[in-house]
Amino acid sequence: SLQGYESFMMKEIRESWGAVRDTLTGLLKENELLNKTIKAIERAKRVIIVAAGTSYNAGLLFTIRLQRAGFNAISVIASEHNNLRTNQDDTVLVISQSGETMDSLIALKKYKNNGSFIISLTNTLGNSISSYSDIALHTRAGPEIGVAATKTFTSQVGALMLLSSLLLNESVDYLKEAESVIANSFSKVIGYTKIIGSELSKKPSLYYLGKGLGVPLAMEGALKIKEIAYVHAEAYPAGESKHGPIALVENGFPVIFLNNGEFTDELYNNVMEMESRHAKTYVISAGSKISTNNNQNEIVLDVPDPRLSPLALAPPIQLIAYYAAKERGANPDRPRNLAKTVTVR
Ligand code: F6R
């Protein structure tokens, strides 16, 4: 039930930090399963990450972290599984909140038939995807009623940060602060995102830009606002935006920058580029600020460890979409044309 909340989406965003905490403690208790997972990824010649929609965006963070560490990791959009032929030397990670997404299940079966080792990360027990997997890992976000994935996304990100740190032989102590980082981000951005959401609800189109780990978050921000507020949005790597997309930018065109704290100088240049075209820029920074002046459109989230930045950026992108939907009178829980679980090809 709604338990006093105005929508499931808001309730579930508010549940996201508890969901991440439960996901991390749950996974850390499954020592044997985690060790098997690490071994299966370490011995693989290639690591293939397969998912659709929001789960794909979460997976991309994992792919980037592994690629940076020298792993041969690739993200594949589930419905585009035909573009890749796997073999017995590959380990495939299928990420699906529901565990029932037809595109992801078909990709899984095909790659399994090729002899690849299959790991899944799902949010429910006894789903089809986990039943076909060699190792079934789970997030512990609890049931998600809103059609838009929110707490399940944040939980996937938490789980994948844990896995990537284990693979990179990093201490996972920093993840103890995941819960408070997400909760603090939520409190800090709630007013700001209401204003942004309401401004964006009146615009026909916008860009979400980021760099590095900010790119999958930008993709997720653009997906969310399209999905529930019906505002057209595109995500690009910030540097790539000058190779074409910038042509659309004119007076007042909204551009949201997601700064995960890694590439502040480059992002600063991209913000300036957009501002010189009179774009309306918004900057959401995790950790370090982009602007040197007191840019009133930059909000800076506290992150005690830079690896927590993707988690800190989850509440603002979800809340922006939520408030844009509200402002337009759209029901964020039940976007048109969409089902919670896409069981068709
Ligand atoms: C967006 C959304 C969808 C799903 C996608 C995959 O908010 O919910 O993009 O992420 O349909 O669903 P799962 O994770 O259940 O495989």
Residue pLDDT, tens place only, 168-184: 999 999 999 999 999 99
User: What's the mean pLDDT in 53-61?
Assistant: 98
CA 124 to ligand 1 centroid distance, Å: 14
Mean pLDDT (the chain, rounded): 96
* Residue bearing the CA closest to ligand 1, atom 7: 148
CA dist list (Å): 237 to 40, 193, 245: 31, 22, 11
Structure tokens at 188: 């800090």
Under the banding of pLDDT at 50, 70 and 90, the label for residue 10 is very high
- Per-residue model confidence as pLDDT tens digits over 125-139: 999 999 999 999 999
Q: What is d(CA 183, CA 30) in angstroms, rounded to the nearest whole number?
A: 25
Please identify, by atom number, the ligand 1 atom nearest to the C-alpha of residue 54: 10
**292 pLDDT higher than 80:** no
pTM here? Answer: 0.97
CA 296 to ligand 1 centroid distance, Å: 34
Structure tokens at 316: 């603002």
CA 163 to ligand 1 centroid distance, Å: 21
Ligand 1 pocket test target in 132, 223, 342, 344 with most atoms within 8 Å of CB: 342
Question: Which position has the token pair 């792919």?
Answer: 63
CA 302 to ligand 1 centroid distance, Å: 29
DSSP-H helix ranges across the chain: 8-14, 16-29, 31-42, 53-68, 102-113, 128-131, 151-167, 178-200, 214-229, 264-276, 309-327
Q: What is d(CA 285, CA 68) in angstroms, rounded to the nearest whole number?
A: 22
**Size of the chain, expressed as the number of residues it contains:** 345
* Residue bearing the CA closest to ligand 1, atom 3: 53
Please identify, by atom number, the ligand 1 atom nearest to the C-alpha of residue 97: 14
* Residue bearing the CA closest to ligand 1, atom 5: 53
81-107 CB burial, b ≥16 within 10 A, e <16: beebebeeebbbbbbbbbbbbbbbbeb
* Residue bearing the CA closest to ligand 1, atom 10: 54
**335 pLDDT higher than 90:** no
Q: Who lines ligand 1 at CB under 6 A? A: 52-55, 96-98, 101, 104, 148-149, 223, 227, 341-342
Sheet containing 280-286: order of strands? 232-237, 205-210, 254-259, 280-286, 298-301
Other CB atoms within 10 A of residue 70 CB: 8
Q: For residue 226, which phi and psi values (nearest 5 degrees)? A: -65, -50
Question: Is the distance from CB of 236 to CB of 221 less than 8 angstroms?
Answer: no
* Residue bearing the CA closest to ligand 1, atom 11: 53
Other CB atoms within 10 A of residue 237 CB: 16
CA 153 to ligand 1 centroid distance, Å: 9
pLDDT of residue 344: 82
CA 215 to ligand 1 centroid distance, Å: 18
pLDDT of residue 18: 98
**61 pLDDT higher than 80:** yes
* Residue bearing the CA closest to ligand 1, atom 16: 96
CA 54 to ligand 1 centroid distance, Å: 5
Q: What is the DSSP string of 235-274?
A: EEEGGGGGTTGGGG--TT-EEEEEE-SS-HHHHHHHHHHH
Under the banding of pLDDT at 50, 70 and 90, the label for residue 342 is confident
Question: How much is the ipTM here?
Answer: 0.98
Q: What is d(CA 252, CA 219) in angstroms, rounded to the nearest whole number?
A: 21
**294 pLDDT higher than 70:** no
Ligand 1 pocket test target in 97, 105, 154, 228 with most atoms within 8 Å of CB: 97
Instruction: Say which residues have a Cβ less than 8 Å from residue 26's Cβ, sequence separation at least 6.
Output: 138, 140
User: What's the mean pLDDT in 147-163?
Assistant: 97
CA 289 to ligand 1 centroid distance, Å: 32
Ligand 1 pocket test target in 8, 75, 101 with most atoms within 8 Å of CB: 101
pLDDT of residue 295: 58
pLDDT of residue 230: 96
Please identify, by atom number, the ligand 1 atom nearest to the C-alpha of residue 152: 14
Other CB atoms within 10 A of residue 22 CB: 18
Q: What is d(CA 22, CA 139) in angstroms, rounded to the nearest whole number?
A: 8
Q: What is d(CA 164, CA 279) in angstroms, rounded to the nearest whole number?
A: 36
What radius of gyration, in Å, describes the C-alpha atoms of the chain?
19
pLDDT of residue 123: 98
Other CB atoms within 10 A of residue 249 CB: 20
**337 pLDDT higher than 90:** no
Instruction: Say which residues have a Cβ less than 8 Å from residue 320's Cβ, sequence separation at least 6.
Output: 193, 196, 197, 200, 221, 224, 225, 256
